[in-house]
A and B are shown apart, each in its own frame.
Chain A
Amino acid sequence: MSKILGSPRSLAILIICLGVVAASVLGGALGSAFGLGFFASSLPAIQLPAEKVTDGFDTPVGKWDVMNTMITTWLAMLVLILISLRIRSKLNDVPGRLQSLFEVAMEFFLSLCEQIAGKEKARKFFPLVFTIFIFIIVANWMGILPGFGTVGRIAGPEEIAHHHDAHGYHDPALEDSSHGSKESKPKAHGAHGDDHGSHLDSVKLHVFQDYEGIPIAALSPGSLQEELTFAEYEEKHGDIGAGKRAGHLVPFLRSANTDLNMSLAIALVAMIMVHFWGFSILGFLGHAGKFISFKSGPIGFFVGILELISEFGRVISFTFRLFGNIFAGEVLLMAMAFLLPFIGILPFLGLELFVGLIQAFVFSMLTLVFAAMASVSHDDGDHH
C-alpha cells in the first residue's frame, strides 16, 4: 500500500479520483441541500408517452407527427442496415472482426433454436428470433449513449398545459407581447384556476437559458437550477428575467423501447408470426383445435378457452416487460445523474448495458419457446 502511495503518478491519480468524488457529492443534489450543488440540474420532467419533436405530415388516416422514439427507431434501423451492408460487401471465407462477431452470435442462436425447436423448424424460426434480438439490443444500447434524453427543444407552458388537459391555457408572456391587452388575462387565469388547477398544480416549469432564440436546450450539469410552479409563473406574468425561458425539455432522441407502441408492435409481430407458424405447420384445424376443442368434454373446452386468453396475456406481458425495464432504466439514470453527477451514474450505466442485453435475449428466447410450443400439437406432446 505504501509503495503504491509512494509513486507520484498513482498518488496524483488517487487525488484526482477523490476530487471527482468530492465534486460529485458536493455538486449534486446532496450538496445543494447545504447550499452547494454547483453541478445540480433539476430533475427533468418524466413523460410516459413519447414526445413530439416536429409536426409531421398529413396522411389520409390522420396526422402523423414525428416523435423522438420514432427517430431513435429509424437510427437503429439505419445502424443495422449499414452493418449488414458492410458485412455483405466484405463477406469472406476468412472472417474479419465484424463478420466473426456476427457469426458467433448467429451460431449461438441457431444452435439454441435447434435445441429448443428441432433441426427443421429452427431454420424457420431463426430469422425472426435473431432479428428481434439484434433490433432490441441495438435500440436498447443506443438509448444510453450520451445525448439521448438530454438535448432537445424547449416546450413552452402552453404546450405543457395542453398535455395536462388544460386546453384553454394561455401563456401570459406571449399574450402580453402579442395583444397588449390586460383585460383578457384575469379571465384566462380564472378559467385555468377553476377548471384545471389540480392538473397543473403539481407540474413544475424549468428555467432555461435562451441562447438568442436558438430552439435547442441541453441538460448539462448546472444548466438548470430554478423551478417554477404554474402559479408563480402567472404571478410574474411570464416575465422571468432576460435571456431566460420557462418550459420543459423535449429531447430529440429517446430510447426506442420507452415508447409502449414500439414494444407492443414487436410483441404483436412476434405473436402473429408464432400463430402463423402454428397454422402452417399443424394445419388450420390442428392449431385452432388447441383453443376450441369439443373432443375432451366440457373441461377440455374451458381449458382451450383459458389457453386462448393466455395468448393475449402473453402479448401484454411481452409488451410491459420490455417497456417497463427500459423505461425504469431511463428514469433510474436520470435520477442518479441528478443525485450524484458523474460518478453515481457509472454503475447504473453498466447495469443498463446488462439489462438491455438480457431483455433482448429474453424477448427473442420467449418468441422461440412460444413458436416451438405452438408448432407442436397437443396429441404429440403426450408421447414425449
Chain B
Amino acid sequence: MEGDIMNVGAGLAIGLGAIGPGIGIGMLASKAMEALGRNPEAGAQIQQNMILAIAFTEAIAIYALVVAIIIKFV
C-alpha cells in the first residue's frame, strides 16, 4: 500500500514538474525563432544563447525528475 502511494507520488512529481519547464522551453524556442526570422545573420549567437537558456529551464524539470527518482528508488 505504501509502495503504491509512493509510485503515484513519483509520477505526480515528474508529471507536474514537467509542465512548467515544458511551457518555458516552448516560449523560449518561439521567441528564438521570432528573433531568427527578424535577424537571420545573428543565427549562430541566437542558437547558442537559446541552448544555454534551455539548459537552465530544463534543469527545473531535472529537479523534479531527481525528486521522482529519490521517491521511487531510495
Contacts and interface: CB of A to CB of B under 8 A. Distances in A.
B5 interface: no
Interface in B15-57: 51-52, 55-56
Given A46-B73, A202-B3, A320 B62 contact: yes
Contacts of A320: 59, 62-63, 66
A327 B69 contact: yes
A328 interface: yes
Interface in A329-382: 331, 358-359, 361-362, 365
- Main SS at interface, chain A: helix
Contact of B55 (A327, A328, A331, A359): A359
A321 B63 CA distance: 7
Contacts, number: 42
A184 interface: no
A103 B6 CA distance: 51
Contact of B62 (A48, A198, A324): A324
A177 interface: no
B23 to A, nearest CB: 19
B2 A198 contact: yes
Q: Taking each of B2, B58, B62, B70, which has the highest tally of chain A beta carbons within 10 Å of its own beta carbon?
A: B62
Interface in A54-97: none
A48 B69 contact: yes
A328 B65 contact: yes
Interface residues of A, number: 20
Contacts of B74: 48
A362 B52 contact: yes
A195 interface: no
A160 B59 CA distance: 32
Instruction: Indicate the member of A46, A325, A327 with the most B CB atoms within 10 Å.
Output: A325
Most buried by A among B63, B66, B69, B73: B66
Contacts of A321: 55, 59, 62
Nearest to A260: B66
B52 A365 contact: yes
Nearest to A325: B62
Contacts of B65: 324, 328
B21 to A, nearest CB: 12
A48 B55 contact: no
B66 A317 contact: no
Nearest to B59: A321
Contacts of A362: 52, 55-56
A323 interface: yes
A358 B62 contact: no
Contacts of B63: 317, 320, 324
A201 interface: yes
A2 interface: no
A47 interface: yes
Name, among B2, B65, B74, the residue most crowded by chain A CB atoms within 10 Å (CB to CB). Answer: B65
Can you list the 6 inter-chain pairs with the closest CB atoms, starting with the nearest? A324-B62, A321-B59, A362-B55, A324-B66, A202-B3, A48-B73
Interface of B: 2-3, 51-52, 55-56, 58-59, 62-63, 65-66, 69-70, 73-74
Interface of A: 46-48, 198, 201-202, 317, 320-321, 323-325, 327-328, 331, 358-359, 361-362, 365
17 contacts: A46-B73, A48-B70, A198-B2, A202-B3, A320-B66, A324-B63, A324-B65, A325-B58, A325-B62, A327-B66, A327-B69, A328-B69, A331-B69, A358-B55, A359-B55, A361-B52, A365-B52
Given A47-B73, A328-B65, A358-B51, 16 more contacts: A46-B69, A48-B69, A317-B59, A320-B59, A320-B66, A321-B55, A321-B59, A321-B62, A323-B66, A324-B59, A324-B63, A324-B66, A361-B52, A362-B55, A362-B56, A365-B52
